[in-house]
Chains A and B, each alone.
Chain A
Amino acid sequence: MQVIIDYDDPRPPSTQLIDQIRRAVSNGDLKPGDPLPSIRQLARDLELNNKTVAKAYRLLERDLLLESRGYRGTFVHPDGARMSTIDSKDWVLNTLRESIVACRTAGITDPEINNAFRILMQEQNTEEDKQR
């Protein structure tokens, strides 16, 4: 099972990596419990920054496609195959769509919705920074 990163692709390398791992888990090329290369190994092989690969792994762990087992490394999550069919992007779009429809029904204008969204994102980022 190979991953190919194209620097000319408009999508960032971490997104390309996430998509290919997701597809491999979904296709069964990567089975539950299969070990993945270490962040450093994959970053070296793909000539990427360690942080880029770490970010991809972190997002896939969040989506329960991968799981980290401490010093033993990263593995495909036991529920990985099932979770790979759930598209988090679709879920985000649906959730936001519902919220926007609710706001508009209540008579809130688009600039007000945009402003509220920006304020909430800023609040979340500040909270995350504090936690770090």
Chain B
Amino acid sequence: MTWPSGLFYLAFCCQILLVSYYFPKRVVANIDHVLTNFPPDTHPKLYPGQFERYIQAKNRFAFVCRCIFIGGLLLIPALMFLVEHKTITEHGFISPAWPAGYGMLQFLPFVVLALSEFSYFKQMRQVDVSTTRVAVLRRRNLSDYIHPLLILGAIGLWVTFILIDFYVNNSTSGWSSDSVLRAVVTGLTNSLFIAIGAFKLYGPKQDPHQSNTTRARLTSIELKILTFGSMAVSLFMAFTAINDALGVGAIDALIVSLYLQVIAVVSLGYALRKLQPQKQDFDVYREYSATG
């Protein structure tokens, strides 16, 4: 086993443990905390559907994550075996598609969980009988939620990555070069982040019972996650560009695995740290709350 392969297996083990064991465990613990401490008897507004459905959803999430975790553990010896017999190597190295493909599978349950929020809040709005609507008489500005230096940092990193990419790869082959492709891909990714950020900042309130203070706090956290994500994408692409220029294909898979872990830490890790249920205001989900 070569040293890049050894490092990759180590990083891949961390990736499996972090994304499919540690973070799901914390998410499930948070859901359990909410289900136990804020039951439908005292907080009926929190459960627009049947209580059992939320328990089932939590169990389903935990089960899928566990399956992916076991699949990952089985993938390591399989990779070792196949690499040993040189059946899956790319120019003699492990292809980065393995950690990338498995990483996408790992993030899938979290994406589904995040998207299911929309239908959950829609249901919440449908059963909401309150006749009052509250708004803050203040313009929402981006700088109120995130430090402008952080935004400038993300933009600066993106521009720096493009300059580095074009410089180290001497992109003279016009629009078809890898550097242009990377610039376009990161541009589109950042556009998506901007669209999501704009929706969070200026879009309609999803949770009808959420207080304006909580909304402001959540928006700030979500915008920071998007900015960190954009920075991570730029850094990863810069590494890829340098790697391309130097032709060090041996560490491609390692870089992808580390990149996915960074993405997991800045998104899931940050959100879990900031959105602990103990710090949330659940009183707004009581039957008769001050905010209606």
Residues of A near any B CB (own CB < 8 A): 1-8, 20-21, 24, 30, 35-38, 40-42, 44-48, 73
Check B140–A37 contact: CB distance below 8 A.
Answer: yes
Check A3–B140 contact: CB distance below 8 A.
Answer: no
8 A Cβ contacts from B171-198 to A: none
CA distance A48 to B132 in the complex (A): 11
Check B140–A46 contact: CB distance below 8 A.
Answer: no
By a CB distance below 8 angstroms, the chain B residues around A4 are: 132-134
CA distance A1 to B136 in the complex (A): 6
By a CB distance below 8 angstroms, the chain B residues around A46 are: 133-135
Check B132–A2 contact: CB distance below 8 A.
Answer: no
CA distance A1 to B137 in the complex (A): 6
Check B137–A37 contact: CB distance below 8 A.
Answer: yes
**Size class of the contact patch on chain B:** 10 to 19
Point out the residue from A6, A20, A37 that lies within 8 Å of B139, measured CB to CB.
A37
Check B212–A8 contact: CB distance below 8 A.
Answer: no
By a CB distance below 8 angstroms, the chain A residues around B140 are: 37, 41
B101 at the interface (CB under 8 A from A): no
A–B complex contacts, Cβ < 8 Å, 6 sampled: A2-B137, A3-B137, A5-B133, A8-B131, A45-B135, A45-B204
Select from chain A the residue with minimum beta-carbon distance to B203: A44
8 A Cβ contacts from B136-158 to A: 136-140
Residues of B near any A CB (own CB < 8 A): 131-140, 202-205, 212
Query: A7 and B131 in contact (CB under 8 A), knowing A41-B202, A44-B204?
Result: yes
Minimum CB–CB distance from A10 to chain B (whole Å) comes to: 12
CA distance A45 to B135 in the complex (A): 6
CA distance A42 to B133 in the complex (A): 11
CA distance A30 to B203 in the complex (A): 24
By a CB distance below 8 angstroms, the chain B residues around A48 are: 133
Check A73–B139 contact: CB distance below 8 A.
Answer: yes
Check B131–A3 contact: CB distance below 8 A.
Answer: no
Select from chain B the residue with minimum beta-carbon distance to A13: B133
By a CB distance below 8 angstroms, the chain B residues around A45 are: 133-136, 204-205
CA distance A7 to B133 in the complex (A): 8
Query: A36 and B137 in contact (CB under 8 A), knowing A6-B131, A7-B132?
Result: yes
Select from chain B the residue with minimum beta-carbon distance to A35: B139
The interface centre, meaning the residue of B136, B139, B140, B204 with most chain A CB atoms within 10 A of its CB, is B139
By a CB distance below 8 angstroms, the chain A residues around B137 are: 1-3, 20-21, 24, 30, 36-37, 42
